[in-house]
Chain A
Amino acid sequence: MERNPLRRQLQMMRKSFFDQGYLDDQFVQLEELQDEANPNFVEEVVTLYYRDSSRLILSIEQALERKPFDFNKLDAYMHQFKGSSSSIGAKKVKAESTLFREYCKSGNKEGCMRCFQQLKKEYATLRKKLEAYFQLARQAGPMETACRPK
Chain B
Amino acid sequence: MAADSEFHVLAVDDSIIDRKLIERLLKTSSFQVTTVDSGSKALEFLGLHEDDGIINTNTPSVSPNNHQEVEVNLVITDYCMPGMTGYDLLKKIKESSSLKNIPVVIMSSENVPSRISRCLEEGAEEFLLKPVRLSDLNKLRPHMLKTKIKDHQEPEKQDKEEKQQQPQSNNNNRKAMEEGISTEKIRPRLNGITAMV
Contact = CB atoms under 8 A, between A and B. Distances in A.
Interface of A: 24-26, 29-30, 32-33, 38, 41, 44-45, 48-49, 52, 79-80, 82-84, 86-88
A52 B18 CA distance: 11
A24 B190 CA distance: 12
Contacts of B139: none
Contacts of B196: none
Contacts, number: 49
A45 B15 CA distance: 12
A45 B192 contact: no
B142 interface: no
Given A41-B24, A83-B130, A87-B131, A25 B192 contact: yes
Contacts of A26: 131, 192
A79 B17 contact: no
Contacts of B21: 30, 33, 45, 87
Most buried by A among B15, B17, B21, B28: B17
A48 B18 contact: no
B62 interface: no
Q: Main secondary structure on chain A at its contact with chain B?
A: helix
Interface of B: 15-18, 20-21, 24-25, 28, 80, 109, 130-131, 133-134, 192-193
20 contacts: A26-B192, A29-B131, A29-B133, A30-B21, A32-B134, A33-B28, A44-B20, A45-B17, A48-B17, A52-B15, A52-B17, A79-B109, A83-B15, A83-B109, A84-B15, A87-B17, A87-B18, A87-B21, A87-B130, A87-B131
Contacts of A30: 21
A32 B25 CA distance: 10
B192 A86 contact: no
A32 B131 CA distance: 14
What 8 pairs across the A-B complex have the smallest Cβ distances? A25-B192, A24-B192, A84-B17, A33-B24, A87-B131, A83-B109, A26-B131, A87-B17
Contact of B109 (A24, A29, A32, A86): A86
A30 B132 CA distance: 11
